[in-house]
Structure 1
């Protein structure tokens, strides 16, 4: 849902870059999950507030810049049950992890291992053994996403 990108002030606040169009979802939750490299833990959010394009947060027991520094670079998430159901023609990117990515020639490119933002759009990290492809998750290349069939159809050459 976001990443802690810095500190704010002298009372232990952190700055959060959100990856959602609805940052109020985070602000409305009493507890968040934070972590990196697969090591996640729950923290209680004492306060949140907007500051321009960023969301500020202060966690229970985090009362100084030194304490807040320990959270810099951490990803922020929420339990799935805390999220609203996706709307029609919407999905959560996390639901795509593990789907097979096939091109319009019928060639298997690999499985979706992750997503990241390059600032302009989301990018799929497609892995097939030792090979890795980065495919922009935009209409120009993504033809169809079929979660039920566990497939993503892309206009992308196997040798690109």
Structure 2
């Protein structure tokens, strides 16, 4: 895949979700950040952040940031007290797709794989298994979560290890599909 994963995006949207503001940190406006980039500090290489609030999407700049324990904390420009910081809790952080680094051939951001049809070619039989609803990071390898749809073999949810060359045989973004070698009964 790539060393820099990302979260969700909506088809046609120019924004890619890269994390969340989870909770306040202290009384001076700092917030805790959950990053979906790898390494997690890469979230701070994007500017501006687009926060998806209940009042709409708004751009913000990060004034300062630092690691804290196993996570990250940040101070958003213009947010200088705990009450203002509280308003940003549980808000998704997105960035413009054009800010993301170009990848090498054969590397993909997670948002590029979400929504692709999954076709298995198992023991000479071709079947549609569904679409990639999301990806999971397991430590050993990433996993495609494939949900059955109206055009699939059945409505089962399948977890397919994202291992190119072994289970994932090809990815065609233009055709909107991933070909896998996976037993449809599993």
Fold in common (TM above 0.5): yes
- Which residue matches 1:133? 157
Pairwise CA RMSD: 3.0
1:103 paired residue among 114, 120, 124 = 120
- Which residue matches 1:147? 173
Change (3 A) 1:8 1:99: same
Of the structure 1 ranges 48-57 and 85-94, higher mean CA displacement relative to structure 2 is found in: 48-57
1:110 to partner: Cα distance: 1.6
1:153 to partner: Cα distance: 2.0
- For 1:141 and 1:120, the matched residues in 2 are separated by 14
- Which residue matches 1:59? 76
| Structure 1 runs not aligned, ≥5 long | none
Aligned residues: 159
What SS does the corresponding residue of 2:61 show, helix, strand or coil?
A: strand
- For 1:49 and 1:137, the matched residues in 2 are separated by 33
TM-score of the superposition, structure 2-length normalised?
0.67
What SS does the corresponding residue of 1:15 show, helix, strand or coil?
A: strand
Change (3 A) 1:107 1:54: same
TM-score of the superposition, structure 1-length normalised?
0.76
Contact in 2 for aligned 1:25/1:83 (Cα 8 Å): no
| Structure 2 runs not aligned, ≥5 long | 1-17
Contact in 2 for aligned 1:123/1:134 (Cα 8 Å): no
